[in-house]
Amino acid sequence: MKLPHLYIALLLPLCGAAKVQAQQAPQWQTIQVAPQLTITEEDGRSRVIEPACALETVMDPVEGTPMDNSFRFYFKQGTSDNLLIFFNGGGSCWEDAGCVASLALSDVPGARPAYNPSMAIENTPVGAGGVFDHDNPDNPFRNWSQVFIPYCTGDIHVGSNDVPYTDQDGSITGTPGAPVLVRHRGFDNFLAVREWLKGHFALDNDNVEKLLVTGSSAGGYGATLNFPYLEQIFPHSRAALLADASAAVVTHGFIQNVFSLGKAWNLEHSLAPLFLNRLGTYSALGLNVEIFDLLRRAYPEHRFAQYSTARDAVQVQFLKIMHQLDRGNMDPFSWGLQPTDFLYFWEWNLRMELSLTYLSATTHNYQYYIGAGTVHTVLTDTYATEELPHPFYQQDSAQGVAFTDWLDRFVNARRFQEMSLSYRR
């Protein structure tokens, strides 16, 4: 099978960098997670969870032996009574073309598969920069305790299911029609982190005064949809949610194939009751508004915010992917953005801005920051450019206000005062 040899080009430099950087930043603890755990839910019932990444193994290209692809997460103890919980991003998939065929894009320079199934790629806070740069005096969260939740399941941190997808043309396994088991266990991974948090903070008799739940891209959705579960274990904290680069501009086909009963991610076994009660009734045009409206009504004392650039190229590409899948185009090599795709940018921008401005106008505890340009995510340096090498500290295109100052005020001001900002056209 070709499957274990995916990401060969990426594994070597990233693994080597991680080893060097880990020596420079010993404050990060790696928390290992068992492949099966029994946890006790709030109603007293036991639940068996199976934390995992989408693929069981990836191969070391030098040694030719399996590399550890088991799920683990990271924790840094801060000096304040505040806690930041970050959900990492890395695409998503829900059918054969995205979950299997798109993996071949790892061999195409400048291209990415529809999702990241590996713990070894872009799944560590070490060297991530931005909100994890603890030596930068401009970082409002440098003294906070921090949790970094890796993402390797393709299900925006809410899946709880194993799915045998099909390698239709054999491009991954070498056998047309062969099954490829993808473990959508993002919610199980999150529950393992949550269980550890419950034990850690109870053991230390620690009071979490302020809680920031956040994430980038797919992680922004994970932070949003799992917010109720985190608020539940820190009910006395002053909580805030920031969804970075996750504006939920989706198609009707996505709603039918993901946000409905009996689908690949098994959302009926993972969504918080707040969201589960609406499963099967969400709309493509209103998904973002519907989700945040539920949150702001359920938690009027907490704060909610979203960030995006005006023409986020990665979010636009996922809108194109959804459109292509809805039309029956199962060729991932044709999903990339082209110069002729300006209508996708136009549609995505229009729907994103309408959604965020509507929430700001109708909600008392919500705000947004819309920056100029196409850069994807702001909290780390993952998608940095030459023009914006450190987006977290250098983004100030929304009315001249630095993003870090905006976020600092949103999270740390004693009283919430809306400060929704957008770039000038």
Average pLDDT over residues 102-111: 91
List the single range of 17-26, 143-152, 175-184, 338-347 with lowest mean pLDDT. 17-26
Q: Which residue has the tokens 């302020």?
A: 210
CA dist., res. 92 & res. 157, Å (int): 10
- pLDDT tens digits, residue range 281-294? 999 999 999 999 99
Question: What does the alpha-carbon distance between residue 89 and residue 417 come to, in Å, rounded to a whole number?
Answer: 29
Give mean pLDDT, residues 295-317.
98
How high is the pLDDT of residue 207? 81
CB-CB contact of 397 with 373 (8 Å): yes
Distance (Å) of CA 74 to CA 26, 86, 363, 401: 11, 10, 34, 31
The secondary structure element, H or E, covering residue 83 is: strand 82-87
pLDDT for the residue numbered 206: 58
Report how far apart the first and last C-alpha atoms of the chain are (Å, whole number): 50
E strand residue ranges, 143-252: 145-149, 161-167, 178-184, 210-216, 238-244
pLDDT-above-90 percentage for the chain: 86
pLDDT of residue 88: 98
Question: pTM of the predicted model, to two decimals?
Answer: 0.93
Report pLDDT for 424: 84
The model's confidence at residue 11, banded by pLDDT at 50, 70 and 90, is very low
> Kind and range of the H or E element at 128?
none
In tens, the pLDDT along 346-402 reads: 999 999 999 999 999 999 999 999 999 999 999 999 999 999 999 999 999 999 999
417 three-state secondary structure: coil
Pairing, β 72-76 against β 29-32:
antiparallel
- pLDDT band at residue 38 using 50, 70 and 90 as cut-offs: very high
Region 399-408: mean pLDDT is: 98
Ranking 13-22, 75-84, 288-297, 324-333 by mean pLDDT, the lowest is 13-22
Helix and strand tally (H, E) in the chain?
Answer: 11, 15
pLDDT above 70: residue 212: yes
Residue 135, pLDDT score: 95
